């Protein structure tokens, strides 16, 4: 039930807003947008750098994968381990091992090591600002 007081409260005078309130608010929202835009542009180089990092990391992982793969392949097919530090000097015409058997493995291992080193020393922060 509504009485006279409640009716009066519903039409309680509402003060007018100060001049320039809406323009001040909109100016502040534009400042927020500017800050957001600045923050977004600051993030952009990091994204680019990240994609370059991915290439370097891919090379490192590919190198490790090829090197490890060769070890596993050698175990599985030849039954002995390729010792890259020792056998490297024993392969070839003057070596003790059969070159025809070892050359493909050595080449793949070398490719893996090359990829690994290329990735390892690749510039990961080459974005110029």
Partner 1 sequence: MTVSDTAAVRAAVEAVLRGDGEAFSEIVECYERRLFALSLMMTRSPSGADEVTQDAFLRAYTHLDQYDATRSFYPWLATIAVRLAQTWLRRRLQRESREGAALDADTSQVSAVDPLSALIEDERDRRLWQAVAALSSGERTAVYLYYRQEMSVSDAAHALGVTTGTIKTLLFRARRRLRSALAASDYARHQEERS
Binding site for partner 1 (CB under 8 A): 5-6, 8-10, 12-18, 21-22, 24-26, 28-30, 32-33
Q: Which is nearer to partner 1, 12 or 86 (CB)?
A: 12
Is residue 103 within 8 A of residue 91, CB to CB? The reply is yes
Is residue 99 within 8 A of residue 91, CB to CB? The reply is yes
Residue 17 Cβ, how far from partner 1 at the closest point, in Å?
A: 4
Residue 29 Cβ, how far from partner 1 at the closest point, in Å?
A: 5
Q: Which is nearer to partner 1, 28 or 81 (CB)?
A: 28
Q: Which is nearer to partner 1, 12 or 43 (CB)?
A: 12
CA distances from 90 to 13, 68, 114 (A): 101, 21, 21
Is residue 124 within 8 A of residue 101, CB to CB? The reply is no
Question: CB 114: neighbour CB atoms within 10 A?
Answer: 13
- Supply 13's token pair: 């005078």
Residue 43 Cβ, how far from partner 1 at the closest point, in Å?
A: 17
Q: Which is nearer to partner 1, 37 or 120 (CB)?
A: 37
């Amino acid at each position: 039930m509504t009485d006279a007081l409640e009716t009066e409260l519903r039409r309680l005078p509402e003060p007018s807003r100060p001049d320039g309130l809406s323009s001040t608010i909109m100016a502040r929202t534009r400042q927020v947008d500017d800050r957001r835009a600045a923050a977004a542009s600051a993030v952009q180089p990091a994204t680019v750098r990240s994609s370059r990092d991915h290439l370097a990391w891919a090379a490192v992982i590919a190198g490790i994968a090829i090197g490890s793969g060769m070890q596993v392949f050698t175990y599985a097919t030849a039954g002995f381990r390729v010792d890259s530090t020792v056998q490297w000097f024993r392969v070839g015409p003057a070596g003790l091992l059969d070159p025809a058997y070892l050359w493909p493995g050595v080449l793949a291992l070398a490719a893996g090591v090359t990829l690994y080193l290329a990735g390892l020393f690749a510039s990961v922060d080459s974005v110029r600002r």
